Structure 1
C-alpha cells in the first residue's frame, strides 16, 4: 500500500469521524462488549448479583447496539445516548456490577459524550468582537451620513 493511499484513507476517516459523536459511540460500544465478556468469566471471578438470565446478556447487547447506531446514525444520537445510559445503569444489577465497574464507566462516559456532542456550527463570536463590529459599522454609517449632509 502506498503512502498516498494511506493518507487518503486516513483523511477520509478523519472527515467521517468529524461529523459524528465518534468517541461517545465507541466508548458505549466498548462498554457493552466489556460487560458481555465479563458474563463469560469463570465462576470463581463472577459475582452473581441479581438476575443472570436474559437481561444479563440483553442490556450489554443494547449498549453495543446503541453505540453502533450512534456512530452510523448521528442524527438520532440523543435517543441512543439516553437509551444507552439507561441500559448501562441496568447492568449494575444484571451483569456483575456493570462488568466490574469498567463497562459501567465506559458506557456512562460514552453516553454522556454522545449526548453532549454538537454538530459543527458557525464559530462563536465573543461579545467584545460583536460590539467592536457594531461600533465599526455604526461609525462607518455616521461618517457616510456626515459626508452626505455636507454635500449641497
Structure 2
C-alpha cells in the first residue's frame, strides 16, 4: 500500500456516515424529519383503533379523509424539504398552515403530537440557511472574522459608487459638462 491511497483502509460504515453527514448538511434535514414525524400521527390516529381487553375503542371521526390528506401533504412537504430544498420557505409556510388546520380537522392535530412536530418542522425549514465553509482553523474563508462574514451575509457586500463629475460638482463640470480637446 502506498501512503497516497488513504481510502483503502476506511471502513464502509464510516464512509457512508460521512456521506450522509455531508448530504444532511446541505439541506434542512431536521426540518424535513420533524415535518414527516408530524404528518404520521395526524394521518394515523383517525384510522386507529385501540383494544382494551374485549372492548375496542375506535378513534375515527367524520374528518378522517381530511386528516389523511393533511398527513400525506405534511409527509410530502417533509420529503420536499430534503430533496428539493430550494423551495424550503414555501414548504415551511405550508407545513405551518397545515399544522394549524389540523387542530380542528384531525383530532386536535394528531393529539397535539403531530401539530407540534409539524409546527417545529415548518419553522426550522423557514429559518434554515446554507452554512458557509470554514477554514481548518475555524475561521471563515479569506481570514475574515465571523462578524464581518455575518454582516455581509445579512446586508451584502458594501459597494461605494464611483465618483462622476456631474454628481459631485468637479472641475470637469465647470464648463457645462462639455469636454473640448485643445
- 1:149 is matched with none
- 2:59 is matched with 46
Match for 1:76 among 71, 87, 101?
87
Residue 34 of structure 1, CA deviation? 1.6
- How do 1:89-104 and structure 2 match up within 5 A? 89-104=100-115
Given the alignment of the two structures, is residue 29 of structure 1 paired with residue 50 of structure 2, yes or no?
no
- 2:13 is matched with 6
8 Å contact kept, 1:56–1:91: yes
Residue 37 of structure 1, CA deviation? 1.6
Given the alignment of the two structures, is residue 113 of structure 1 paired with residue 124 of structure 2, yes or no?
yes
Unaligned runs of 5+ in 2: 1-8, 50-55, 134-139, 152-182
8 Å contact kept, 2:48–2:60: no
Distance in 2, Cα, partners of 1:45 & 1:53: 12
TM-score, structure 2 as length reference: 0.62
Q: CA RMSD in A?
A: 2.3
Residue 79 of structure 1, CA deviation? 0.5
Which contiguous aligned blocks of 4+ residues in structure 1 show a shift greater than 6 angstroms? none
8 Å contact kept, 1:55–1:94: yes
Distance in 1, Cα, partners of 2:103 & 2:10: 46
- 1:126 is matched with 147
8 Å contact kept, 1:60–1:88: no
TM-score, structure 1 as length reference: 0.74
Distance in 2, Cα, partners of 1:3 & 1:115: 37
Q: How many aligned positions are there?
A: 125
8 Å contact kept, 1:82–1:111: yes
Secondary structure of the corresponding residue to residue 20 of structure 1: coil
Residue 54 of structure 1, CA deviation? 2.7
Q: Which has the higher relative contact order, 1 or 2, with Cα contacts under 8 A spaced 6 or more apart?
A: 1
Residue 45 of structure 1, CA deviation? 5.7
